[in-house]
Amino acid sequence: MSARSRRWSRSLTPRRLMRPLEWLHSVTEISLERLWDQGYRALVLDLDNTLVGYKLLEPAPEVAAWVRAAQARGFVLAIVSNNVRAWVSSVATTLGIVTYVHTALKPLPFGIVRAVKQLRARRSQTLMIGDQLFADVLAAKLLGISAILTDPIVSGEHHAMWLVRAAERFLLLGTQRNEEA
């Protein structure tokens, strides 16, 4: 086994693939200045339960304000969602986000790859933000992109999610939420 493949295999351990850069309650807790100072220029955002709560029709005013602040700071933004085109397009338009990928099939990384290409961003300067360890964080980490995990906006998602959330809590044991990223 070559040195390169050993490095690659070490970087893909389950623990590393499931470890977010930060874990916060909400996107609104993320310091855009800090991200900018760390060299990030592109933000790839999950939609459902990250920007808009489950079964809610639009983002909360504070989330919309955070998105506007990110754009004003100079970040390029994309939404990458497993949801259908009509819903993703509607929310993207509401938030003023031009780049979006619907039906992304996360945790497969192809939707994030498309978004990064459309944004003309470097992976090293791109950050994924989402509420699911097994979808958002894993998809980003498979590409070598850093990720911030947020708590879901609304609990009580569809019934199958309880098992996923329980597995996520197990994997996050010993990990503390950050107060601010």
What does the pLDDT profile of the chain (181 residues) look like in tens digits?
Answer: 555 544 544 555 666 677 899 989 999 999 999 999 999 999 999 999 999 987 788 999 999 999 999 999 999 999 999 999 999 999 999 999 999 999 999 999 999 999 999 999 999 999 999 998 888 999 999 999 999 999 999 876 556 655 565 666 656 555 666 654 4
Q: What is the pLDDT of residue 86?
A: 95
Assigned fold of 12-171: Rossmann fold (3.40.50)
pTM of this prediction?
Answer: 0.82
Number of C-beta neighbours around residue 65 at 10 A: 12
Q: What is the pLDDT of residue 13?
A: 61
Q: What is the pLDDT of residue 19?
A: 82
Identify each DSSP E strand in 104-172 by its residue range.
Answer: 126-130, 146-150
Cβ neighbours of residue 54 under 8 Å, at least 6 residues apart? 48, 152, 153, 154, 156, 157, 158
